[in-house]
Amino acid sequence: MRLAFFLLATALFAKDKDFNGRWDINVEKEARGRVWWLEVTGAGSKELKGRFVGASGGDMNDIPEIAIEGGVLRFTFERVYPLGQDKDRWKLTRKGVYSARLRDGRLMGTFALDGNVIYQWSGFRAPEIRDRDDATWKEGKPVELFNGKNLDGWNAMVTGQPLGWTVEDGVAKNVAHANNLVSKEKFWNFVLRAEYKLGEKTNGGIGLRGRYEVQILEDFGQAQDSHSHGALYSRIKPAVNASLPVGEWNELEVRLVGRWVTVKLNGKTLIDKKEIEGLTAIAGNADESEPGPFIVQGDHGAVEFRRLTVIPLLR
């Protein structure tokens, strides 16, 4: 009897190991089309841990409560979840419960608040991307994402809501809480060159392949962290503060090859060939193996763009 119990427990722990790894997650009927990201380590042992992007915020968070029981992965966060029309819900701290089973190599899960399922979601293993930023990449023909006249090359991220952007004298400008812009063209490896001017306390960003955000922030003279201007949002801290004062034109250059990113701001290198660990909160498409669009955030403070040039990198 003891032997049978031991063999059963061993088999269950072995199966639990299948939860280990990094997972890109699609969320059904999420209003803004956001996707999530999950990393599980130590499954099948006493060292079970996890990290998650999608718990009512933009950071990569260590999971405080996580367990696997009866073939079900379950983890929770106690957060303010701003869902529904009731404004008071923005002030309530509630326990969000994420649950998932493995089915044909995928995670099939739910997210629930107060015992009510809010979302259905499915996760697939993050792909291996072998491209490295070496000397083999050559610059292709530049592509101007912004033509200086209109926003014909862009779509609104949230359908059914006003765009909130105008073009005047060759400059694209947003109003407060405007829609985010998503480029119609998609790209894989590239160099992006952008020129923009920030209003006071502006918080924005540029999404690479629609998955990885480079932070745009009015933070002249401030200390640096993983949310500073030029950071790979909540992942990679800039080496220096290269921000210009409010009202001056910043020049940003981002190079992305595979998952390796280099960021320069106003002639200074902030990030030098660092690997991106997973999706950030700006992500709207979970398939990391495919080309993706650029996203320009307009849903925070005032920002003006006069240049968005993409140079594809080819072999």
What is the pLDDT, as a whole number, of residue 10?
45
What domain range is 121 assigned to? Answer: 2-125
Write out the two tokens for 188. 């894989």
pTM of the predicted model as reported, rounded to 2 decimal places: 0.91
Name the helix (H) or strand (E) containing 3: helix 2-16
Is residue 249 domain-shared with residue 281, that is, in the same domain?
yes
- The total number of structural domains that make up the chain: 2
Joined tokens for residue 76: 């929770």
pLDDT tens digit string along 247-265? Answer: 999 999 999 999 999 999 9
User: Which residue, of 70, 103, 125, is where some domain finishes?
Assistant: 125
DSSP string, 83-122: -SS-GGGGG-EEEEEEEEEEETTEEEEEEEETTEEEEEEE
Domain CATH number, residue 68: 2.40.128
Which CB contacts under 8 angstroms, 24+ apart, belong to 17-22? 17/43, 17/44, 18/43, 18/102, 19/43, 19/68, 19/73, 19/102, 19/107, 20/44, 21/125, 21/126, 22/125, 22/126, 22/277, 22/278
Q: Higher model confidence: residue 152 or residue 5? A: 152
Q: Are residues 112 and 145 in the same domain?
A: no
Model pLDDT, residue 29: 87
CA–CA separation, 202 and 191 (whole Å): 24
Whether 292 and 150 map to the same domain: the answer is yes
The reply to whether 174 and 226 lie within a common domain is yes
Contacts (Cβ under 8 Å, ≥6 apart) of 303:
173, 174, 196, 197, 198, 199, 202, 204, 216, 297
185-233 confidence digits (pLDDT tens): 999 999 999 999 999 989 999 999 999 999 999 999 999 999 999 999 9
Residue 108 burial by Cβ neighbours in a 10 Å radius (0-12, 13-18, 19+): middle
| Same structural domain, 106 and 157 | no
Residue at 130 is within a domain: no
Residue 275, pLDDT score: 97
User: At CA 56, angle to CA 304 and CA 282, rounded to 5?
Assistant: 35
Residue 202 placed within a domain: yes
Name residue 38's amino acid: L
Which of 125, 160, 176 marks a domain boundary? 125
42 and 157, same domain (yes or no): no
**HEC states along 133-201?**
CCCCCEECCCEECCCCCCCCCEEECCCCCCCCEEEECCEEEECCCCCCEEECCCECCEEEEEEEEECCC
Q: Are residues 144 and 281 in the same domain?
A: yes
Q: What is the mean pLDDT of residues 23-44?
A: 93
**Residues 315, 138: Cα–Cα separation, whole Å:** 6
Q: Which residue has the higher pLDDT, 292 or 302?
A: 292
Q: Are residues 255 and 202 in the same domain?
A: yes
* Spatial distance between the Cα atoms of 125 and 20, rounded to a whole number of angstroms: 10
pLDDT in tens, 157-185: 988 888 999 999 999 999 888 999 999 99
CA distance 297 to 274: 23
| Alpha carbon distance 224, 222 (integer Å) | 7
**Both 72 and 161 in a single domain?**
no
